[in-house]
Amino acid sequence: MNGVIPLHKEIGLTSSDCVYKLRKILHTKKVGHTGTLDPLVDGVLPICVGQSTKLVNRLTGSPKEYEGEVTLGTSTTTEDREGDVVEDIKLDQAFSNEKLQEVFTSMIGDLTQIPPMYSAVRVNGKKLYEYARAGLEVKRPERQIHLYDFYMMGEPIFDQATGKQTVRFHVRCSKGTYVRTLAVEFGSLLGVPSFMSELTRTQSAGFDLKDTYKLSDIESMIESEEYGFLKSIDDVLEDLPAHELTNEEWEVNVIHGGFLEFSQYDTKKNLRVTKNNITKAIYKYDPMDSMWKPETMLLNNE
């Protein structure tokens, strides 16, 4: 079984939980996810099966889209609703839509982020959340991220009694972005504490939320011997130009990881080489040798 499952991860499950459950459902060990989603976050989590596990890094590196909610007036230890309250104030009045959108727009572009203490980033061999649970604070590495789009969705809600304002948002961001931290930075730019009160990943690796399947859906489909939930490697890589191999290119070169020589393809893009219209490898152009060299071998893709 080779391909990618556009899974709808549900709230309460870790990404590793999903991999474990799918290994049992599919009766295969070669299963891997394409980027961690926190237990309190639901949405698109592409899962690689079989030969497609070699594509994890490629899929993980693509931009992602989220819809969520930030609550203004409170901050927490985990930067989401799971943590303990660190600061709590009562807003005198709601921020105007114009002011909110001004802050959203100001954050678009390149940003420097420090991962939250409650995250899986490793420092000195240990995950940050392990330090946090032990009550320890350590220096966290900065990371460069990029926001392609960040804007308000719908009308913000202001609760006069509690003095809290909730704002829904949409963000399209680069790999490695902590949206929890964006919510905190958003409040900081307004001069108030804040936390991410809700989040759904709506797009990842070319898959939209409407295209996803829940674990229960997959289990039912397997029982009925339906496999529509599994997207082929060819579908996942359809954005790459493809070259149908001759018998000689296949038997003499590709099977043995050999180089190929073409002049008709864009050397700035990776090239998908196929046999009988099935992807067998991804090649990358090497300008030093003026040859195409294998980057990812998928010889067992059927």
Residues annotated as catalytic (active site), given as ranges: 38
Q: Tokens 């992602």: give the residue.
A: 64
Predicted local confidence at residue 119, as pLDDT: 63
Please classify residue 113 by burial: count the beta carbons closer than 10 Å to its beta carbon, then call 0-12 exposed, 13-18 middle and 19+ buried.
middle
CA dihedral over 24, 25, 29, 30, signed as positive or negative = negative
Q: What is the pLDDT along the chain (302 residues), one digit of tens a residue?
A: 899 999 999 999 999 999 999 999 999 999 999 878 889 999 999 999 999 999 998 898 889 999 999 999 999 998 999 888 999 999 999 999 999 999 999 999 999 987 766 666 677 677 767 777 777 777 777 889 999 999 999 999 999 999 999 999 999 999 989 999 999 999 999 999 999 999 999 999 999 999 999 999 999 999 999 999 999 999 999 999 999 999 999 999 999 999 999 888 999 999 999 999 999 999 999 999 999 999 999 999 88
SS3 per-residue string spanning the chain: CCEEEEEEECCCCCHHHHHHHHHHHHCCCCEEECCCCCCCCEEEEEEEEHHHHHHHHHHHCCCEEEEEEEEECEEECCCECCCCEEEECCCCCCCCHHHHHHHHHHCCEEEEECCCCCCCCEECCEEHHHHHHCCCCCCCCCEEEEEEEEEEEEEEEEECCCCEEEEEEEEEECCCCCHHHHHHHHHHHHCCCEEEEEEEEEEECCEEHHHCECHHHHHHHHHCCCCCCCECHHHHCCCCCEEECCHHHHHHHHHHCCCECCCCCCCCCCEEEEECCEEEEEEEEECCCCEEEEEEECCCCC
Domain extents in the chain: 3-62+205-233, 64-202, 237-297
Contact 58, 175 (CB under 8 A): no
Predicted local confidence at residue 95, as pLDDT: 97
Does this chain's domain 3-62+205-233 share its CATH topology with 64-202?
yes
CATH for 3-62+205-233 (3.30.2350.10, 1.10.940.10, 3.20.20.70, 3.30.450.20)? 3.30.2350.10
Q: C-alpha 26: how far from its chain's center?
A: 23
Neighbours of 169 (CB within 10 A): 23
| Class of CATH domain 64-202 | alpha beta
Please classify residue 155 by burial: count the beta carbons closer than 10 Å to its beta carbon, then call 0-12 exposed, 13-18 middle and 19+ buried.
exposed
pTM exceeds 0.85, yes or no: yes
Using alpha carbons, select from 184, 170, 153, 147 the residue that is nearest to residue 63: 147
Predicted local confidence at residue 120, as pLDDT: 64
Find out if CATH 2.30.130.10 is the number for domain 237-297: yes
Predicted local confidence at residue 130, as pLDDT: 74
Predicted local confidence at residue 279, as pLDDT: 95
